[in-house]
Amino acid sequence: MFSTYTYEKLGGHAMYDPTVFENLKVAFENHLYDLDNLEQKIHILHRSDQLDLAMMARELTIRFSKVGYPSVLVDLTLHSSLKDLADEILEIKGTDPGCMLTLLVRTCIQDVDKECEEIACILRTVWENDVSYTQTLNFRHEQTEPGFMNRINIHFKPKLTEEHMSEIDAFLKSVLDMMEQIGEVSKH
């Protein structure tokens, strides 16, 4: 829906020109499904590809776990706002259209102070200064098992563009490394 169409000057043939979001979406899907189906390093648990008609935004979320670490779940979300889509489609000069990338990591922890600090250290080591993150803990009222659910929201600072496509493989390797390290921290 948010693709642009250009017309060749000679012959007037319509040519499909996908947006940055669509190109990145396909690239992430291809890499993640290869990790699931071919390399069997992850299990894809859920996929959501949404068009928000109220905000006119696009969002892709893929939830997966790493083989051997089923208690660490990651939602990888790629988001493109109306402004980014409009800037790209209308070719607005002086703008920097792209997509926002976030990760939501969920895992159970027992020792809040120790494990949250260890996870923060992992995030600083793996992502350096490229992210901002928060750790939010919750538990169910009247839960009988000990521990807290740690929801780690990771926001990547630079917008992604098509120039980042060659970095997706290395990025996903870092995600898997982070998942394994967090899995080791939260093992009980």
The domain spans of the chain are: 19-185
Phi and psi at 114, nearest 5°, equal -65, -50
Task: Tell me which fold the domain 19-185 belongs to.
Answer: Yope Regulator; Chain: A, (3.30.1460)
% the chain with pLDDT above 90:
71
The pLDDT-based confidence of 12 (bands split at 50, 70, 90) is low
Radius of gyration of the chain, Cα coordinates, nearest whole angstrom = 19
Mean pLDDT, the chain, whole residue set: 91
Q: Nearest-CA neighbor of 135 among 120, 152, 117? A: 152
Q: What average pLDDT does the segment 40-67 reach?
A: 95
